[in-house]
Amino acid sequence: MKEKSLDQLLKEKFSRGAEEYDQQRKHVIPCLEDLYQVTADLSTVGTLKPKILDLGAGTGLLTSYLYDRYPQGSFTLLDLSEEMLDIARARFQNLANFSYVAEDYLKQDFEGFFDIVVSSLSIHHMEHQDKEFLYHKVYDHLNQDGIFINADQVLGPHPANEEEYQQNWMDKIEVGSLSESEKRIIYDRMKLDNPASLEDNLKWLDEIGYKDVDVYYKYYNFVVLYGKK
């Protein structure tokens, strides 16, 4: 039997249970509100009608924070899972300033230029060389002074740090209100995690040419990374 590709595995695992995804995520990510609010706060550009691209947009939860700030903006939500995007469509009630693309963002042409590109808890699944490639691709599709914000997971700089990251995360999951079946889904998805170190992420952004590169938020393995064109 032919082995499934990473994008096929991701599509299957994240399409399964799409209806419960938002509620589960709030239990699985202990700092979820901070991650999304910091991302929205950092999304400062010189127009009230920015073009915004959300990579791995899923159900549109992060986009909803940006929409609260920029209701006149133009939003493109790109995700592998049509089931996830169906929930996003319902969330935004088919607003005219929204478009949805069910494709692999590593392969899909972004078609145009954006003032803000964001991603949350998605890019860490990719191979490291693909992460760097994507950062470059985003840079090429940003308007001048456009910004890229990635709220994601990173690998600990040393084995002891990574062990502490994982133990903290597991403890939060175990004491939460998730059912055993929900926990199994979460742990199954976690098998596809492949985070790079914070140092490597910042180095890639710097080397590509992003300005003002920084980590504006960090809670154990969860970070908000920022760069401007």
Helix H or strand E encompassing 91: helix 82-92
Using alpha carbons only, what angle is made at residue 216 by residues 48 and 41, rounded to the nearest 5 degrees?
Answer: 25
pLDDT tens across the length of the chain (229 residues): 445 555 554 444 444 554 555 566 666 788 899 999 999 999 999 999 999 999 999 999 999 999 999 999 999 999 998 998 999 999 999 799 999 999 999 999 998 999 999 999 999 999 999 999 999 999 999 999 999 999 999 999 999 999 999 898 888 777 666 667 766 766 666 677 899 999 999 999 999 999 999 999 999 999 999 999 9
Residue 13 near residue 189, CB atoms below 8 Å: yes
Query: What is the pLDDT, as a whole number, of residue 11?
Result: 44
- Domains in the chain and their CATH numbers? 6-228 (3.40.50.150)
Residue 42 near residue 116, CB atoms below 8 Å: no
Query: What is the pLDDT, as a whole number, of residue 111?
Result: 87
Phi, psi dihedral angles at 67 (to 5 degrees): -65, -35
Phi, psi dihedral angles at 217 (to 5 degrees): -155, 140
Q: Where are the beta strands (DSSP E) in 56-157?
A: 74-79, 98-102, 114-120, 142-153
CA distance 151 to 132: 15
**Confidence (pTM):** 0.87
Residue 129 near residue 197, CB atoms below 8 Å: no
Helix H or strand E encompassing 168: helix 159-175
